Amino acid sequence: MNQDPMTSESKRVDTLLRYDPRSFPPFADVFGNDHPVEIEIGCGKGKFLIARAMQYPDVNFLGIDLVWKWMRYAVERSQKRSLTNVKFIKTDAREMVRYGAQSATVSVFHIYFPDPWPKRRHHKRRLITGAFLRELHERLAPGGLIELATDHIDYFRQMQAAVVHSGISWSRITERLNNRLFEAEAETNYELKYSAAGRTLHYLELCK
Ligand SMILES: C[S@@+](CC[C@H](N)C(=O)[O-])C[C@H]1O[C@@H](n2cnc3c(N)ncnc32)[C@H](O)[C@@H]1O
């Protein structure tokens, strides 16, 4: 039997990046092109990012998550599909944004359902603060977006307050259903789970 030299094994692309954020190369070196870069912070199992990478082959996508137990699904699924425009890195997103992302290089930060840390004494662990928004803003390209979603009303209020505390003059702030949701397959796992449970979901979009 003739064997196709491009078996699924030989076409397999390694989508897991093993850099330390402090020595992360420029995105153009990581992806081998200078296409726009979108980053998902807390990508979990990667459902949203993989669907988006398949839909937009001329955009590069980077998924960041702290927990390998979830991210391994994202890596396996993207490798199975031989996607070359999506990569994953297991690290703290705060470190990656601070040290790994260069100034004005990111077109969208997607941050969907970040851990709400509901207990008051844990609020300081929440990702979205005025200081973090300032760092994200600095890494955004002109006209770039930060897309936020949460089901947690108290965290949503904190996000709104963080926008004020950031002291940044955003060119546009909108609180409406995220545009990506008009595209099939673009819901995240938590979005599906929480909307099926009938929870109210809150969205915020910040434009540089
Ligand atoms: C509630 S889940 C949401 C997952 C996904 N965004 C979704 O909507 O289905 C939050 C995710 O953020 C990740 N996470 C929490 N803190 C993080 C951090 N500092 N850096 C990177 N990922 C983080 C968690 O491991 C988890 O996968």
- Looking at the CA of residue 71, tell me the nearest atom of ligand 1: 27
Q: State whether the beta carbon of 46 lies less than 6 angstroms from ligand 1.
A: no
95 lines ligand 1 (CB under 6 A): no
Residue range 76-104, pLDDT digits in tens: 999 999 999 999 999 999 999 999 999 99
State yes or no: is 115 an active-site residue: yes
What spacing in Å lies between the alpha carbon of 146 and ligand 1's midpoint? Answer: 16
Range list of H helices, 36-188: 47-55, 68-80, 93-95, 130-139, 153-165
pTM higher than 0.75, yes or no? yes
pLDDT of residue 178: 84
Q: Mind listing the domains of the chain with CATH numbers?
A: 9-18+26-207 (3.40.50.150)
Q: Is the CB of 42 under 6 A from ligand 1?
A: yes
Q: Of the listed 58, 115, 151, 154, which one is catalytic? A: 115
